[in-house]
Structure 1
Amino acid sequence: MAQFDVYPNPSKHQRADIPWIVDIQSDLLSALTTRLVVPLALRKHMPPALPRVLCPALHWGGETLVALPHMAAPIRIRDLGSPKGNLKLEASALAGAIDAVISGI
């Protein structure tokens, strides 16, 4: 488990629109049995005009995805499976989006 690792969405019902989730939890909290994740939706399923700070567009795995930090939620580690990649290069955009959710900016 590492911060910004990307996993397939464990919810089969949501996978068509939200195929991925990204772990945003600090590695300092690795003793917990859950990880805080942000859903990553396919850009083509999202409205054309989105607040970029709140819902940044990310490029990963040949797809354009939109982070949905307002839907961040804890998930059990055992439900995550194996990471398929990492979005550490997008850490600033992801942290800024979480900050926007918390601060209301």
Structure 2
Amino acid sequence: MARFDVYSTPIADERRHTPFWLDVQANHLQPLTTRVILPLRRTSSRQQVTQRLNPEFEIEGTRVFADTANIATYPIALLRRPVASLKHERLAIDDALDFLFAGY
């Protein structure tokens, strides 16, 4: 498990609107039994939001946005093998988290 890894949503009822979860937890916290994730929702389910708080990405041909305000923790046991990495989008993701927590 690594920060910025993307996982398929393991909860079947959520996959229609939230196909992926993005791991945003610092790597040095590996001993914890949970990971902090951002839901990656289909852009078709997007309500009026700001690009800074909710950056968009494409994963496996699906356009999604990070629903940063709905940050959550989930047990590591629910996270299987990563399907992608958004490490190359680190600046946009960190900017969204900074905007959520610090307002800048």
Q: Does 1:11 align with 2:21?
A: no
Tell me which residue corresponds to 2:33.
Answer: 33
> Residues 65-101 of structure 1, C-alpha deviation per residue, up to 9 Å, x if partnerless?
1001111111110111111111111111111111111
Q: Could you say what secondary structure the match of 1:90 adopts?
A: helix
Structure 1 distance, partners of 2:70, 2:12, is: 17
Provide the aligned C-alpha RMSD in A: 1.2
Tell me which residue corresponds to 1:81.
Answer: 80
Q: Which amino acid aligns with 1:69?
A: T
Where does the alignment leave 5 or more consecutive residues of structure 2 unmatched?
none
Runs of 4+ more than 3 Å apart: none
> Residues 34-79 of structure 1, C-alpha deviation per residue, up to 9 Å, x if partnerless?
11000000111213x4201001111222121100111111111011
Tell me which residue corresponds to 1:23.
Answer: 23
Structure 2 distance, partners of 1:89, 1:61, is: 15
What is the number of residues matched between the two proteins? 104
Tell me which residue corresponds to 1:53.
Answer: 52
Percent same amino acid at aligned positions? Answer: 32
Where does the alignment leave 5 or more consecutive residues of structure 1 unmatched?
none
Q: TM-score, normalised by structure 1?
A: 0.92
